[in-house]
Structure 1
Amino acid sequence: MAEAAAKSVLGTISRGHLECPICCCRFTDPKMLDCLHSFCLNCLKEFTRRQLPKAHEITCPVCRRITAVPDTGMQGLPNCFFLSSLVDEFNKQERLLGDAPANAPTCEECDEGLEAVSRCLDCCKFICKKCLKAHERMKSMRHHRIIGKEEHKFAEALIGPRKKDNLKCNKHHNQDICLYCETCKTLACAACAALDHRGAEHEYREVADAIRSYRQNVGEILQRFEQSKEEFKVADDSLSHSRNRLRIKVARACKDITTKEEEEISKIRNKSRLLRDKVTQIGEARDRTFGEVQKSNRDKMERAEQIVATVNDLMQQADDFELLDLKPKVMHNLQFQSELEFEQAQHDLSFIGVKCQDVVADTDIGEVLQEENWQLKVEFGETGPEDGKLECPAGVACLTNGDIAVTDMEKWKLMVFTSTGEYKKNVGGEQLNYPGFVAVTTGGLLLVADKKYVKVLDSSLSVIRQFATSPDDADDKTDLSGITVDKENRIAVADSKRTIISLHHLDGSLIRTIPNDMVAGGLAIGIGERLIFTNINESKLICITYTGDEVFNVDTLLGGEPVWPFGVCCDDAGDIYVSVGVEEFDSCEVHHYSPEGVFIGRVASGLNGPFSLTFTPSGDLVVADGVSVKIFQRV
């Protein structure tokens, strides 16, 4: 069973690594091209013969790169010594296992051409049955050492001795290779150094020093390649997000177009279809652009990884002489590192929207918005103690019907307004004591952070249940600075005093507690079970997973200087929006970040204390700003 397993392993390795890609047979006299791919010498000759117009060049059958044919012909191409050694070793092991289809040796003692069945170690010859009997019969050879065909030494004798470790000079055959000429990029013996490399322009060193420097150079390049892999991942993730965001925005734009179409269905059906097509065409064109850039980056990385894999194989399997002999080609292939640059996503191309307008017979239903810009759509909130007026709006959330819930931290009430700012109702007093930040579940329930409790309200603003986020003895150590809920109705609550984020089911049962010393501000849930929160004191925007692993930690800046981050929210594509300001609460802004924490741009400016923000179902941005609520729309 062990022998069968060994044969299976040998066969698998041979097929995967020791077979010529042209003839699909085990390598015979393998030669290496400039791209580091190897092929049988005869296969290359036949392959080149078919390329008569370009007989001075070889196009690699694997990667299509060009290799110049040496003046001496195919024979002058570099030998792939480590492949030759591996093939010899595999042939030997297969013969030892009785699995190789080798030609049986003939008797070397007689001229009858009979098959050898034994080998005489004293005569150093293969012998047939007749000669074996002669050995046994003759007194002078009776004590010779005979090994049978089934013994391993017989197979070893058939295979022949292995190659020696010391490499001899091709020009001075009795001299060992001991030097490497950096000027000529070639191995040399002492005689070569004295005769051919003695000029001042020749710089040569001992093989050990040369290989040490060579390995160090390769190691540094491979280390830089690892950095390039990280850059590739960032670029690839950015492109993937931009493509996904583009699809979401295209879908949103098409939905907006359809809504407008339904309002004036009898007049505009045809024009709305044309505009949808235009949006889709632009989206597809941009998606192709993103896809081409992404494919180009991936192709670069795939080619780079192929080169690195081949170089790593050489570094691990070839001996020093072979490595130095191949140094020019290896270093030439590693030059890709200096040119390995990845194209980043053009984030502005990932946005597409629609600006609808009233339609008459000879106008379009709307225009395509190919750049993302924002403008103030609605502002509401008069200052005063009366119901329906605001004094210090802090928390803001959008209900499923489009209404806007606002908490006022001076009145300690929660008020509900329409999307145009008309006051509807409020709740406070016995039901809510210190209402702070708010969120809305997918089912339309309203979540309010009320001191140490999270209170759940229905559509009539009645408290249907509540749950504590901290132990009873932690009342004076609790400060709920943020609350949010994901699409599966898992509630996340930030406690800036205890510096934790607690994750709960909708019924209030605790899922897990996530400690983090940076919890000190707003809280939102991003894509892929990520928690995004701010730290006002350190001017930080932080992202962690539900298990507490940090994704990013970036500074929030305004004019190049650290600035306080207040509220944070995410749109349906996972992009992050943060309200920032200074201590005086003048010239505050809303900033836009990618899901990876990369600053994209400014959404709004001239704000007066934007403590929290959220999105409406239609994609407008709602900001609780000082003494009013402002709604911004894309234009």
Structure 2
Amino acid sequence: MAEAAAKSVLGTISRGHLECPICCCRFTDPKLLDCLHSCCLNCLDELISRQQPKAGEITCPFCRRVTAVPDTGLQGLPNCFFLSSLVDEFNKQERLLGDAPADTRSCEECDEGLEAVSRCLDCDGNICQKCLDVHRKLKSTKKHRIVNFDQSRSQVPLADLRKKDWLQCHKHTNQELCFYCETCETLACAKCAALDHRTAEHEYREVPDAIRSYRQDVSESLRKFEQSREEFKVADDSLQHARNRLRIMVARACKDITAKEREEIAKIRNKSRLLRDEVKHIGKERDRKFEEVQKNNRDKVERAEQIVATVNDLMQQADDFELLDLKPKVMHNLEFKEELKLEQAQHELSFIGIKCQDVVANTSLGEVLLEEKWQLKEVLDEDSGDGQYKSAEGVACLSNDDLAITDTGKQQLKIVNSAGGKTPVGWDILNDPCGVVVSGDDVLLVTDKMHVKVFDSSLEFIRQFTPSHNDTGQDSESCLTGIAVDEKNRIAVADSGRKLISLHMLDGSLMKTIPHEMVGYGLAVGIKERLIFTNYSNERLICITYTGEGVFSVSTSCVKQHGRPSGVCCDDAGDIYVSVDSEEFEGGEVHHYTPEGVFIGRVARGLHSPCGLTFTPSGDLVVADEVSVKIFQRM
């Protein structure tokens, strides 16, 4: 059973690593191409004969890289002694396991056809008992390495099998290779160093020093590749997000177009279809560009990974002499820094919107917006006859586009729309309202100092719950500020007093607490179960996972300008929007970030003192701006 298993393992390894990609048979006289792939000499000869008239170069059948054919022909390509020795070892092991036909055990030293009992590793041939006796008597062969076929577990290091091919100088017989000329990038013996590499421009060193330097160069190249791999991951994530955001924007634009189409009824349906097609076409073209960039980045990294894998195999399996002989090719293949220059996402191409207009006669239904811009759509500075807002801090949007607003100065929660405000909830229920959020079934949740109070869409009080104290031993007084709810109706509450975020079910039951020293005012739930919050005093925007693992922490200050963040929210694509206040700005601003915390630009400027943020179902941005509530739309 063990012998059968050994045969199976040998066969699997042979098929996976020791077969020529052209003939799909075990390598015979393998030659190494510039791309570090190997093929049989005969296969390359047949291949190049089919590639006329370009006989001066050969294309690798595996990766399509081109290798120049030496003046001496294909024989001049470097031999892959590592593969040759490995194939020989596999053939020997198969014979020892009885896997080879009986006639392959015939003596190769004489013509008597006697059965071979041993194999001479130096002569690379099977020998019978008579030839073995002669081998051991002759002065020239008595030191040859002999392996008996009955020594089924005999093992000879592959380095020893190849050693005879490298120790001797091919130019000066019986001279050992002991130097490596850095100028000529070749191994040399003492005579070569004295005769051929003696001039000042030749720089050579001993083999151990050369291989040590070589390995250091390879290690540095591999380290740079690992850095490039990390850069690829960041670029790829950014491109994927841009594609996802583009799809959301395309869908939203099509939805806006459809809404306008219904207003104009039948006379604009044809134009609506044309405009949707244009949006989809642009979206498809941009998505194709993103996809091409992604594919190019992935191809570059995959190619680099192939090179790295091959080089790693060589560095682990090949001996020093073979490595030095292959150094020019290996180092050439490791010079992929420029090829591995990864393209980043053009974030501006991920936006697409629609600016609709009234259609008269042959006027177009609207125009496609290729650049994201925002404009002030509406200002709500009065409720139902009660005067201006005193301190509007939190804002949330219900499914019918009504806005729920907390006014800390008046200790009120109110719901307003374009027709005017509804009756607010006053001081008798709320003491110090701050953040407000709407769940999926239009339930309102308000942070009120130490409690979260729950209302229905008619502002009827339902219940309240108190987030449990953390188990860190802190006795700080609770101060609930930000609140957010995810798509699964799990509630996140920021406690800036005790410096933690608590996660709850919709009924208020505690799931877990996440301590964090930077917990401040604003809180939002991002993509991939991420919690995003602001720290006003430290001017930071922070993102962590539900398990408390840090994702990013970035400054909200611009060059020579302090930016103190307060409110934060996310759009459907996961992009982050932060309200920022600073005396150095001309009023407050709303800043736009990617889900990875990369600053994109400013959405709004000249605000009074922006706090809470939210999005309407149609994609408008609502800002609680202390004395008013402002609504911005893309244009």
Same fold, TM-score > 0.5, yes or no: yes
- Note the C-alpha offset of 1:475: 9.0
* Higher deviation after alignment, 471-480 or 245-254: 471-480
- Note the C-alpha offset of 1:366: 1.5
Matches within 5 A, 1:422-433: 422-433=420-431
**Corresponding letter in the other structure for 2:128:** F
Per-residue CA deviations over 1:166-198 (Å, capped at 9, x if unaligned) read 621111120111000011110000111111111
**Corresponding letter in the other structure for 2:623:** V
C-alpha contact 2:389 2:626 (8 A) present in aligned 1: no
The residue that corresponds to 1:126 in the other structure is 128
**Corresponding letter in the other structure for 2:410:** K
Q: Give, in whole Å, the separation in 2 of the partners of 1:194 and 1:110.
A: 43
Q: Tell me which of 461, 464, 470 is aligned to 1:463.
A: 461
The residue that corresponds to 2:135 in the other structure is none
The residue that corresponds to 2:629 in the other structure is 629
Kindly tell me: are residues 476 and 36 of structure 1, through their superposed partners in 2, closer, same or farther at Cα, counting changes over 3 Å? closer
1:391 counterpart = 2:393: no
The residue that corresponds to 2:553 in the other structure is 553
- Note the C-alpha offset of 1:102: 6.5
C-alpha contact 2:116 2:128 (8 A) present in aligned 1: yes
Kindly tell me: are residues 116 and 38 of structure 1, through their superposed partners in 2, closer, same or farther at Cα, counting changes over 3 Å? closer
Q: Give, in whole Å, the separation in 1 of the partners of 2:210 and 2:487.
A: 61
Q: Give, in whole Å, the separation in 1 of the partners of 2:400 and 2:600.
A: 31
- Note the C-alpha offset of 1:3: 2.0
C-alpha contact 1:148 1:154 (8 A) present in aligned 2: no
**Corresponding letter in the other structure for 1:517:** E
**Corresponding letter in the other structure for 1:306:** Q
Q: Give, in whole Å, the separation in 1 of the partners of 2:152 and 2:396.
A: 85
- Note the C-alpha offset of 1:626: 2.3
C-alpha contact 1:388 1:415 (8 A) present in aligned 2: no
Q: Give, in whole Å, the separation in 2 of the partners of 1:11 and 1:303.
A: 28
- Note the C-alpha offset of 1:316: 1.0
Q: Give, in whole Å, the separation in 2 of the partners of 1:42 and 1:110.
A: 28
The residue that corresponds to 1:167 in the other structure is 167
**Corresponding letter in the other structure for 1:66:** V
C-alpha contact 1:178 1:207 (8 A) present in aligned 2: yes
Q: Give, in whole Å, the separation in 2 of the partners of 1:284 and 1:578.
A: 30
- Note the C-alpha offset of 1:311: 1.1
The residue that corresponds to 1:594 in the other structure is 594
**Corresponding letter in the other structure for 2:407:** D
The residue that corresponds to 1:371 in the other structure is 371
The residue that corresponds to 1:443 in the other structure is 441
The residue that corresponds to 2:84 in the other structure is 84
**Corresponding letter in the other structure for 1:454:** V
Matches within 5 A, 1:136-535: 151-152=150-151, 162-164=161-163, 167-382=167-382, 387=386, 389-418=388-417, 420=418, 422-471=420-469, 477-535=477-535
**Corresponding letter in the other structure for 2:444:** L
Per-residue CA deviations over 1:505-533 (Å, capped at 9, x if unaligned) read 00111111111111112000111111111
**Corresponding letter in the other structure for 1:427:** V
The residue that corresponds to 2:573 in the other structure is 573
* Higher deviation after alignment, 285-294 or 569-578: 285-294
**Corresponding letter in the other structure for 1:444:** D
**Corresponding letter in the other structure for 1:626:** E
**Corresponding letter in the other structure for 1:426:** P
- Note the C-alpha offset of 1:292: 1.1
C-alpha contact 1:492 1:502 (8 A) present in aligned 2: yes
C-alpha contact 1:610 1:625 (8 A) present in aligned 2: yes
Per-residue CA deviations over 1:38-58 (Å, capped at 9, x if unaligned) read 011111111112223011111
1:35 counterpart = 2:31: no
- Note the C-alpha offset of 1:64: 1.2
Kindly tell me: are residues 156 and 110 of structure 1, through their superposed partners in 2, closer, same or farther at Cα, counting changes over 3 Å? farther
3-state secondary structure, aligned to 2:283: helix
**Corresponding letter in the other structure for 1:433:** N
Kindly tell me: are residues 559 and 605 of structure 1, through their superposed partners in 2, closer, same or farther at Cα, counting changes over 3 Å? farther
Q: Give, in whole Å, the separation in 1 of the partners of 2:127 and 2:232.
A: 62
Per-residue CA deviations over 1:355-382 (Å, capped at 9, x if unaligned) read 1122223212221111100000000114
Kindly tell me: are residues 277 and 310 of structure 1, through their superposed partners in 2, closer, same or farther at Cα, counting changes over 3 Å? same
Tell me the TM-score normalized by structure 1.
Answer: 0.91
Kindly tell me: are residues 560 and 224 of structure 1, through their superposed partners in 2, closer, same or farther at Cα, counting changes over 3 Å? farther
C-alpha contact 1:567 1:612 (8 A) present in aligned 2: yes
C-alpha contact 1:275 1:365 (8 A) present in aligned 2: yes
C-alpha contact 1:95 1:155 (8 A) present in aligned 2: no
**Corresponding letter in the other structure for 2:216:** Q
**Corresponding letter in the other structure for 1:286:** R
Q: Which ranges in structure 1 are unaligned for 5 or more consecutive residues?
A: 132-146
Kindly tell me: are residues 60 and 265 of structure 1, through their superposed partners in 2, closer, same or farther at Cα, counting changes over 3 Å? same
**Aligned CA-pair RMSD:** 2.7
Kindly tell me: are residues 16 and 191 of structure 1, through their superposed partners in 2, closer, same or farther at Cα, counting changes over 3 Å? same
Per-residue CA deviations over 1:63-92 (Å, capped at 9, x if unaligned) read 111111111111111111211121122112
Kindly tell me: are residues 476 and 234 of structure 1, through their superposed partners in 2, closer, same or farther at Cα, counting changes over 3 Å? closer
Kindly tell me: are residues 469 and 625 of structure 1, through their superposed partners in 2, closer, same or farther at Cα, counting changes over 3 Å? same
C-alpha contact 2:407 2:413 (8 A) present in aligned 1: yes
- Note the C-alpha offset of 1:593: 0.3
- Note the C-alpha offset of 1:112: 5.6
C-alpha contact 2:81 2:162 (8 A) present in aligned 1: no
Kindly tell me: are residues 395 and 111 of structure 1, through their superposed partners in 2, closer, same or farther at Cα, counting changes over 3 Å? closer
Kindly tell me: are residues 578 and 102 of structure 1, through their superposed partners in 2, closer, same or farther at Cα, counting changes over 3 Å? farther
- The alignment covers a number of residue pairs equal to 612
3-state secondary structure, aligned to 2:422: strand
- Note the C-alpha offset of 1:6: 1.8
Q: Give, in whole Å, the separation in 1 of the partners of 2:209 and 2:492.
A: 60
Identity %: 70
C-alpha contact 1:579 1:610 (8 A) present in aligned 2: yes
Q: Give, in whole Å, the separation in 1 of the partners of 2:119 and 2:601.
A: 84
* Higher deviation after alignment, 341-350 or 427-436: 427-436
Q: Give, in whole Å, the separation in 1 of the partners of 2:467 and 2:52.
A: 80
3-state secondary structure, aligned to 2:612: strand
Q: Give, in whole Å, the separation in 1 of the partners of 2:57 and 2:355.
A: 59
**Corresponding letter in the other structure for 1:613:** L
Kindly tell me: are residues 258 and 629 of structure 1, through their superposed partners in 2, closer, same or farther at Cα, counting changes over 3 Å? same
Per-residue CA deviations over 1:565-615 (Å, capped at 9, x if unaligned) read 110000001000001112688521100000111100110000111011110
Kindly tell me: are residues 77 and 246 of structure 1, through their superposed partners in 2, closer, same or farther at Cα, counting changes over 3 Å? same
- Note the C-alpha offset of 1:558: 3.2
Kindly tell me: are residues 58 and 110 of structure 1, through their superposed partners in 2, closer, same or farther at Cα, counting changes over 3 Å? closer
- Note the C-alpha offset of 1:294: 1.2
Q: Which ranges in structure 2 are unaligned for 5 or more consecutive residues?
A: 121-125, 132-145
C-alpha contact 1:96 1:155 (8 A) present in aligned 2: no
C-alpha contact 2:297 2:340 (8 A) present in aligned 1: no
C-alpha contact 2:116 2:127 (8 A) present in aligned 1: no
C-alpha contact 1:585 1:609 (8 A) present in aligned 2: no
Q: Give, in whole Å, the separation in 2 of the partners of 1:10 and 1:383.
A: 82
Per-residue CA deviations over 1:300-329 (Å, capped at 9, x if unaligned) read 111111111111111111111001000111
The residue that corresponds to 2:103 in the other structure is 103
**Corresponding letter in the other structure for 1:425:** T
